[in-house]
Amino acid sequence: MSYTDLKGKTIFVTGSASGMGRQVALLLAQQGANVGACDLKEPTEVAEQINALGQGKCLPLACNVQSPKEVSAAVKKVVETFGSLDGKPSDVLHLT
Ligand SMILES: NC(=O)c1ccc[n+]([C@@H]2O[C@H](COP(=O)([O-])OP(=O)(O)OC[C@H]3O[C@@H](n4cnc5c(N)ncnc54)[C@H](O)[C@@H]3O)[C@@H](O)[C@H]2O)c1
């Protein structure tokens, strides 16, 4: 998928409060993607930063990726909010 394909796509990004996940979330939104941003605590700071850019939108979610129930609930909210889920570059799935 090239960057030009990201406009209107929705990506689920884990560990997005800091480090690589945060940078991935920002870069995706700058390319026009909507981001379901999850971390152990709701990553409100990165969501505010993304939404202030006026490009892709961000939905912050508290979600422990070690819990299938929490992941299912978070994905459901992302689909309800943005209408689809097109990808999930996950940087903490090694923990599952
Ligand atoms: N930073 C690097 O250069 C680099 C290079 C190669 C690999 N890695 C690996 O990539 C991963 C992320 O690195 P980073 O530097 O971005 O780390 P980081 O600690 O800055 O970010 C990890 C984020 O994941 C969140 N997180 C942890 N457990 C979680 C869980 N169960 N559910 C949801 N969120 C959870 C943390 O709260 C944190 O916000 C690590 O496993 C690291 O070893 C990092």
What separation in Å is there between the alpha carbon of 21 and the centre of ligand 1?
A: 7
Inform me whether the pLDDT recorded for 89 exceeds 90: no
19 CB within 6 A, ligand 1 = yes
Locate all alpha helices (DSSP H) within 18-57, ordered by sequence. 19-30, 44-53
> What's the pTM value of the predicted model, to 2 decimals?
0.89
95 CB within 6 A, ligand 1 = yes
For a mutational test of ligand 1's pocket, the pick from 39, 41, 72, i.e. the residue with the most ligand atoms closer than 8 A to its C-beta, is 39
Cα R_g (the chain), whole angstroms: 12
The encoded tokens of residue 3 equal 């960057």
Each residue's pLDDT tens digit, 16-48? 999 999 999 999 999 999 999 999 999 999 999
All structural domains of the chain, each given as residue ranges with its CATH number in brackets, are: 3-95 (3.40.50.720)
Atom number, ligand 1, closest to the C-alpha of residue 16: 39
